[in-house]
Amino acid sequence: METDKFIRIAYFCEVHEVELSFMEELESFELVSIREFDHVKYFLVEDIPHIEKVVRLYKELEINPAGIDVILNLLEKLNKKESELAELKNRLSIYLA
């Protein structure tokens, strides 16, 4: 295992002051992906920004995992619609020039 690609969940929880059980609950909602090697649980380092966003929603806004799931899905849809709108504007600019 390449350890530079993973971070121990226990360490992440300690730094961010959240319980391991919360991370496991997030996994049950498929909001985080947990890997396990030799009975130690890890996150991919590349997933940390997403996981920190989830933790901020939980800690700062006191949103439960089900609410976080809804918020993240809505944000994803909003980003998709913004991309579609930008593409349509680019296509329309041909006719307005």
**Closest listed residue to residue 51, CA positions, set 83, 85, 93, 7:** 7
Six-digit token string for 61: 């806004």
Strand, helix or coil at 8? strand
User: What is the residue extent of each domain of the chain?
Assistant: 3-96
pLDDT surpassing 60 at residue 10: yes
Question: What are the tens digits of pLDDT across the range 52-83?
Answer: 999 999 999 999 999 999 999 999 999 999 99
Span 3-96 CATH architecture: Orthogonal Bundle (1.10)
At residue 96, the pLDDT reads: 79
**Closest listed residue to residue 28, CA positions, set 57, 68, 59:** 68
